[in-house]
Amino acid sequence: MSHPHPELGAPPKLPKGGLRVIPLGGLGEIGRNMTVFEFDGRLLIVDCGVLFPEEEQPGVDLILPDFTIIRDRLDDIEGIVLTHGHEDHIGAVPYLLRLKPDIPLIGSKLTLALIEAKLQEHRIRPYTLEVKEGDRENLGPFDCEFVAVNHSIPDALAVAIRTPAGMAVATGDFKMDQLPMDGRLTDLHAFARLSEEGIDLLLSDSTNAEVPGFVPPERDISNVLRNVFANAPKRIIVASFASHVHRIQQIIDAAHEYGRRVAFVGRSMVRNMGIARDLGYLRVPAGLVVDVKTLDDLPDDEVVLVCTGSQGEPMAALSRMANRDHQIRIVPGDTVILASSLIPGNENAVYRVINGLTRWGANVVHKGNAKVHVSGHASAGELLYFYNICKPKNLMPVHGEWRHLRANAELGAMTGIPKDHIVIAEDGVVVDLVDGRARITGKVQAGYVYVDGLSVGDVTETSLKDRRILGEEGIISVFVVVDSSTGKITAGPHIHARGSGIDDSAFDAVIPKIDQALNKSAQDGVVEPHQLQQLIRRSVGKWVSDTYRRRPMILPVVVEV
């Protein structure tokens, strides 16, 4: 199995007749999925998603793929194929279309409806091409065939990309639920047919590669939900992804059975469920869904609220309820259902929300104490089954952290794929399919691009480091006025601390040290303000470290007169 090395340089020119694969996100992480395919100077993009920030990225709203490698080649892009409508696959599309709004978007009916609603908020009217399973479209030199796959959102598609270099198949997110809610199975017959033709490179979902066996059917949750509904004395509040149509359908069915009304809470939840209902993907009995404003007129035991926040997102509805910062107040006897998995890295945030809800008297039902979630990704048993059907000549695990990618590679090897035909890459690592072999040939820039409010890319790793220091250690400001000609102090130092845990009066002990350092620098002829600031920062920093074993941010201000 090949894997990347830190010493990888820029890839060479793509050999004539070769297919280049450049993952810009989704490898080594869960989210930000984006892969660029290149043949004969033309580009095809599969998915363009976001990654949600973790605690060590304070103030960041979203994390995008790095578009640097394609920024100067926007006219070479034939289109963006979207495998399904989850945010980690479509969330970055508006930011790419800001660079060139007429790049075609290719996807299924529901996927395009979800991205079009998102683009409307960005005031972008996209050019779209709706496809369904079985369709085949020529996008420049890329002959794309779309295959039905089962996932935790309707209308998911895999894509087979035929080029003269060979056929690459990107599975997107998939599993093999044999009793899907919508009756739409992963089309193993189509994959077997592609296998007969010859799959030269398979890019396969790795998320559950470490999990043995098969994922239970989605419909297994229905009985658990009915049991919760039957025993809930007051309101039921369900937190789910705003795109998990199958899960929301089961909530609606249970609410209908137990005589409860349903209200959607949160802009994305209201928007997505409205789209799913209008397109026929969500079946809602007449009068069942009501506006959240009318809930006060209903008895508590006739109410179901469906909201966002299953991952502990600080601004989502459920987190705000836990923090008593929402119009809906949790009271003893309420039942809260977290109907989703834990995305790696979100565990602490989710448990913090669970504890907050429990504190206010809610009975919290989650994956840890009840079967209220099944995964949307194929487990090891399904992947083995899949590889034995597809028989790919080369395998490239995608969509997963490093442990998932390597576990997926091991599964491929167990089914007979030669280890030297299995490529474990990471974001930015270039893989070329030439003469039937996939090999790593170089690396391109594929770092994190942070969205903070309206700014895109302005926040850097240095900025985040400063934010972490401010959040964890606080700030100390030092104000000094010096004579511009002699460098001697004429006023100050005035020292103030915020968030450092050090009382301002304690700084009386360090003022003589600052005076001494500045007087010595004046004698040495050092009068440049930047040098004086560095001197103050070192003096105060050493004193704080020696005295308190802390490292706050120190902000010296030197004014010349």
Q: Hunting for tokens 């935790």 — which residue is that? A: 152
DSSP string, 102-131: T--EEE-HHHHHHHHHHHHHTT----EEE-
Q: Both tokens of residue 187?
A: 């089309």
Examine the domain organization and report whether 30 and 157 are in the same domain: yes
Residue 463 lies in a domain: no
Q: Give the pairing of strands 303-307 and 449-452.
A: unpaired
- Quick count: other Cβ atoms within 10 Å of Cβ 448? 21
- Per this entry, what is the length of the chain? 561
Check whether residue 205 and residue 337 sit in a common domain. no
Domain of residue 528, CATH code: 3.10.20.580
421 annotated as ligand-binding: no
- Residues 56 and 188 reside in one and the same domain: yes
Tokens 């996932």, residue located? 151
Q: Does 124 share its domain with 222? A: no
- For residue 48, what pLDDT is reported? 94
11 in any annotated domain? no
Q: Are residues 286 and 325 both part of a single domain?
A: yes
Angle, helices 109-121 vs 267-278, to 10°: value is 140
Contact criterion met (CB below 8 Å) for 260 and 236 = yes
Q: Is residue 521 situated within a structural domain? A: yes
pLDDT for 369 equals 77
Res 1: pLDDT = 47
At 470, list the tokens: 């401010």
- Three-class SS state of 142: strand
Residue 296: what pLDDT?
Answer: 80
pLDDT of residue 208: 92
Name the domain boundary from 337, 365, 393: 365
Is 302 part of any domain? yes
What's at 131, amino acid-wise? V
Say if residue 376 carries a ligand binding annotation: yes
Known binder of ligand: residue 373? Answer: yes
Domain count, the chain: 3
Query: Which position has the token pair 């620098």?
Result: 521
Residue 314 pLDDT: 58
Report the sign of the C-alpha dihedral through residues 298, 301, 305, 309, in that order. Answer: positive
- Nearest CA to 204 out of 435, 438, 374, 448 is that of 438
**Would you say 377 is a known binding-site residue?**
yes
Tell me the CATH number at 82: 3.60.15.10
- Structural domain including 317 reads 218-365
Task: Name the nearest CA neighbour of 201 among 48, 362, 394.
Answer: 394
Rounded to two decimals, what is the model's pTM?
Answer: 0.80
Three-state DSSP at 516 gives helix
Output the pLDDT for position 380. 96
Q: Walk along the chain (561 residues) in steps of 10 and give the mean pLDDT of each run.
A: 64 92 92 94 94 63 86 94 93 92 95 92 90 95 97 94 96 93 93 97 95 90 88 89 86 92 88 91 90 84 84 69 82 87 67 85 82 86 96 96 94 95 94 94 86 58 58 70 68 71 70 72 65 74 73 73 66
Q: Are 226 and 349 in the same domain?
A: yes
Q: Are residues 254 and 299 in the same domain?
A: yes
Are residues 386 and 265 part of one domain?
no
In a domain, 181, yes or no: yes
CA angle 464, 470, 476 (to 5 degrees): 135
β-partners of residue 288 are none
- Both 29 and 160 in one domain: the answer is yes
Asked if residue 461 is part of any domain, the answer here is no
Query: 83 exposed, middle or buried (CB, 10 Å; 0-12, 13-18, 19+)?
Result: buried
Final residue belonging to a domain, choices 317, 343, 365: 365
List CB contacts of 516: < 8 A, sequence separation 6 or more.
none
In the listed set 428, 456, 484, which residue is the last one of a domain according to the structure? 456
In a domain, 196, yes or no: yes
Greatest CA span in the chain, whole angstroms?
Answer: 86
Rounded to an integer, what distance in angstroms lies between the CA atom of residue 209 and that of residue 379? 5
Residue 335: CATH number of its domain: 3.40.50.10710
Q: Six-digit token pair at 528?
A: 């440049």
Report pLDDT for 527.
63
Of 209, 271, 221, 268, the closest CA to residue 241 belongs to 268
- Preceding peptide of 493 cis, ω within 30°: yes
> Any known ligand binding at 375?
yes
Residues 401 and 451 in one domain: yes
Q: Which two tokens stand for residue 426?
A: 């990471």
Residues 19, 373: Cα–Cα separation, whole Å: 39
Q: In this structure, is residue 6 part of a structural domain?
A: no
CB 167 within 8 A of CB 191: no
Half-sphere exposure of 380 (CA within 13 A, CB side): 16
58 and 192 share one domain: yes
Do residues 196 and 223 share a domain?
A: no
